[in-house]
Amino acid sequence: MWLAQEVIRQKRDGSALAESDILRFVQGITDESVSEGQIAAMAMAIYLNGMNLSERTKLTKALRDSGSVMEWMVDGPVVDKHSSGGVGDFVSLVLGPILAACGCYVPMISGRGLGHTGGTLDKFDSIAGYNTHPDLGTFRRVVKECGVAIVGQTAELAPADGRLYSIRDVTGTVESVDLITASILAKKLAEGLDVLVMDVKVGNGAFMQSIDEGLKLATSIVNVANNAGTNTTALITDMSQPLARTAGNALEMKEAIALLKGEVRSQRLWTVTLELAKTGLCAAGLATSDADAEAKVMHAWKSGKAAEHFEKMVSELGGPSHILTSYEQHMPKAMITKPVLALRDGYVYSTQTRDIGLELIPLGGARKVPSDDINHAVGLSDLKFPGEYVSKGQPLAVIHAESEEVANQVSINLQNAYHLSTQAPEENILIHRVIPASSEPGSSS
């Protein structure tokens, strides 16, 4: 007789779990024959004792296979990207259409924001009519016709992960690298990918604060995904300052549209987008070298082809048909704008990036808990970056709010999140490491 409590006991005592036990446990998560208490106990046992590569791979594949796994009959590689999150990170909005314009098919399943990190789906919800949860038939059609569709997770894809994550969220086990790896990859691999590119953020605006923490997660994801049969590379990139000039859903969407149309407001964001696109094209076999990949990306961007893919995707998923020129009419605006003024002259030396992101919560543009409703219009724009000089009375940022009272308090908090100095900081390292597609020696799947 198979008993969930016996499998929990094995992991509690530090033993490696057999594949059959992992499969049965995940099946029990899906059909609810395993209780919430048992799931919580297993999550804590994994958090405390860890899993080896073989266990992580088997858990990931079991979660992936708990629902539908998509298959594609298309004439190009199926590619996606995932970011571990941060402030002003709307890379997906630009990267997906660029990859599509270069010959990839991008079925990008994204999530919502929580706390200081923004969510890709929330940005698309700021476009009137855009359907972030189409049925699988519509999702397949849009990917085939537009080359890209950016939508939310459906109940058919990795349902066991949804239940497992909701319990991890309230049991202090979210930070487990083993469970983070399995959760991210279960959803991504259910997309039926040929290639996955990971963007693991590190710094004071990321979940992973240090490069060592980021390296541990990135290596785990690369090894498990490649063991599971998906060509995966990870970049470890900096999140010690906002990635874009904006933070907030409609504001980030507007900056993304400007970038797709050729206006680079944040060189940092464009550099990360370019590197991820080049990595994806090389891994997919659509470029023969880094230089070849860059030439293809630049052509897709400068020719306007990537913007066309974006506009067609928005239209096919229910949004306005001419979003590139009419977005101001179809996206919300906040009632009040208020500049955050520098209290003295100086260079922006550093930012408390997480604190900047958290200011979206009192503005109403981010969530404390997943069930919170949000205001897509509010946020921050014109964010100054470290290394830039400001004079006393010049803006460090602009607040978009619904009330003067909230704007005034957020202004004070943002002034405290910016550190000014008479000296400029050292140049920021944006891309720390690249983890290529390789597995640990002697690993098995």
**Architecture of the domain delimited by 4-50:** Up-down Bundle (1.20)
Q: Domain 333-421 sits in which CATH superfamily?
A: Pyrimidine nucleoside phosphorylase-like, C-terminal domain (3.90.1170.30)
**In a 3-state reduction of DSSP, which class is residue 328?**
helix
CA angle 191, 195, 200 (to 5 degrees): 95
CA distances from 394 to 340, 356, 398, 408 (A): 8, 18, 11, 16
Residue 384 and residue 324: Cα distance in Å, rounded?
Answer: 26
Contacts of 20 (CB under 8 A, 6+ apart): none
Exposed, middle or buried, 177 (CB in 10 Å: 0-12/13-18/19+)?
A: buried
**φ, ψ at 114 (rounded to 5°):** -150, 130
The one-digit pLDDT tens for each residue of the chain (445 residues) are: 889 999 999 999 999 999 999 999 999 999 999 999 999 999 999 999 999 999 999 999 999 999 999 999 999 999 999 998 899 999 999 999 999 999 999 999 988 776 677 789 999 999 999 999 999 899 999 999 999 999 987 778 899 998 998 888 788 888 899 999 999 999 999 999 999 999 999 999 988 889 999 999 999 999 999 999 999 999 999 999 999 999 999 999 999 999 999 999 999 999 999 999 999 999 999 999 999 999 999 999 999 999 999 999 999 999 999 999 999 999 999 999 999 999 999 999 999 999 999 999 999 998 877 778 899 999 999 999 999 999 999 999 999 999 999 999 999 999 999 999 999 999 999 999 999 987 453 343 3
Residue 417 and residue 415: Cα distance in Å, rounded?
Answer: 5
pLDDT at res. 157: 86
pLDDT at res. 114: 67
Residue 299 and residue 283: Cα distance in Å, rounded?
Answer: 19
For the beta sheet containing 395-401, the strands, ordered from the edge strand earlier in sequence to the opposite edge, are 336-341, 395-401, 379-381
SS (H, E, C) 13-38: CCCCCCHHHHHHHHHHHHHCCCCHHH
Kindly write down the DSSP assignment for every residue of 223-288, as one continuous string. Answer: HHHHHTT-EEEEEEEE-SS-SSS-BSHHHHHHHHHHHHTT--S-HHHHHHHHHHHHHHHHHTTS-S
Kindly write down the DSSP assignment for every residue of 365-411, as one continuous string. Answer: SS-SSTT----SS-EEES---TT-EE-TTSEEEEEEES-HHHHHHHH
Q: Are 104 and 79 in contact (CB under 8 A)?
A: yes
What are the extents of the domains in the chain? 4-50, 79-156+172-327+431-435, 333-421
Which residues does residue 395 pair with via DSSP β-bridges, in sequence order? 341
- What is the pTM (predicted TM-score) of this model? 0.92
Q: Which fold has domain 79-156+172-327+431-435?
A: Pyrimidine Nucleoside Phosphorylase; Chain A, domain 2 (3.40.1030)
The tokens for 323 are 């979003």
The residues annotated with a catalytic role in the active site are: 80-83, 120, 168, 183, 187-188
Helix axes 91-101, 267-283, angle to 10 degrees: 40
Contacts of 427 (CB under 8 A, 6+ apart): 387
